[in-house]
Amino acid sequence: MLTFGETMVALRGSGPLKLGGTMRVSVAGAESNVAIGLARLGHRVRWTGAVGADEAGELVLRTLRAEGVEVSGATVDPDAPTGLLLFEPRLPELTRVHYYRAGSAGSRPSAAAVERAFAAAPPRVLHLTGITPALGPTARASANLALDLARRHATLVCLDVNFRARLWSAAEAADVLRDWLPFVDVLIASEDELPLCLPAAGRHPEGPPPARLLAAGVREVVVTRGADGATAYTGDGDPRHQPAVPVRAVDPVGAGDAFVAGYLSALLDGADAAGRLARAVTTGAFAAASPGDWEGAPTRAELDLLAAPPGTVVR
């Protein structure tokens, strides 16, 4: 399993940034969040990308290593800094995210690193998000190369659309993601992200977005619906829906990445669509019930804990 993207140092404030206060230091990145989630579930997973030759980059690599993620294919860029991410809790149900990643090492990952990752051991699954191509032309070119290599090596490709309006426009995203569609086996997106991936009008039969995407060659379309769970469309029968696992939400950030990790974990284990969705909503619930991007990701032994009655003490 291989993930490719940018991982940054993450600072989490205790309140509005302009008022000062304390900040907690961690790391964050959609692709590495998925990698950590998979590693905790017992899978062998590699992350490739670029960090700066700085203390922030050391923190990123050290954290991923500590979580059991293979990072030997990562690049250390001596001429660009590691990216920075600030989380600002503004209201009980609203958090603002501030990016400082323009010109970062992660925005200019080496194509050679991607080539090395496939040459060393072609992965069974490649996981990409729509964030990486939004970072700039170098990151986009390296992601395109990863897709080409995945096709050559018959590697299954999972794309989490993960649209970030603060990084690029919907029109820019659609131009790239529609070109990526022929390479994608598993597409994961929220309902409002699906139009970004739809083929141009007239190229495939009209109909609901999932049906159009399946007609374009995607094998599985997974639509995430937040508190309403998720639905998988595979074209071999009726859609399969899985309600969300009810938990007391603490921090929704990272829940989508945890969902992806659970889905891919079950896919790697050979589970059917129902089993993939069940594990995905479980891992997503763990993340939502815990602070941080990846800190609440469960181990395989912990997957059944959410079924315990409230107030349970495991001794």
Rg of the chain's alpha carbons, rounded to an integer? 19
DSSP secondary structure letters along the chain:
-EEES--EEEEEESS-GGG---EEEEEE-HHHHHHHHHHHTT---EEE-EEESSHHHHHHHHHHHHTT-B-TT-EEETTSPPPEEEEEEEETTEEEEEEE-TT-GGGS--HHHHHHHHHH---SEEEEESSGGGG-HHHHHHHHHHHHHHHHTT-EEEEE----TTTS-HHHHHHHHHHHGGG-SEEEEEGGGGGGTPPPTTSS--S-HHHHHHHTT-SEEEEE-GGG-EEEE-SSSS-EEEPPPP---S--TTHHHHHHHHHHHHHHTT--HHHHHHHHHHHHHHHHTSSSSSTTPPPGGGTTGGGSPTT----
Q: Per the residue annotation, which of 160, 251, 257, 293 is the catalytic one?
A: 257
Kindly report the backbone phi and psi dihedral angles of residue 102, in degrees, each rounded to the nearest multiple of 5, phi listed first. Answer: -65, 125
Using CA atoms, how far apart are residues 188 and 198, in angstroms rounded to an integer? 13
CA distance 256 to 262: 10
- The answer to whether 293 is a known catalytic residue is no
User: What's the CA angle centered on 225, arms 94 and 241, to 5 degrees?
Assistant: 155
Catalogue the active-site residues: 257
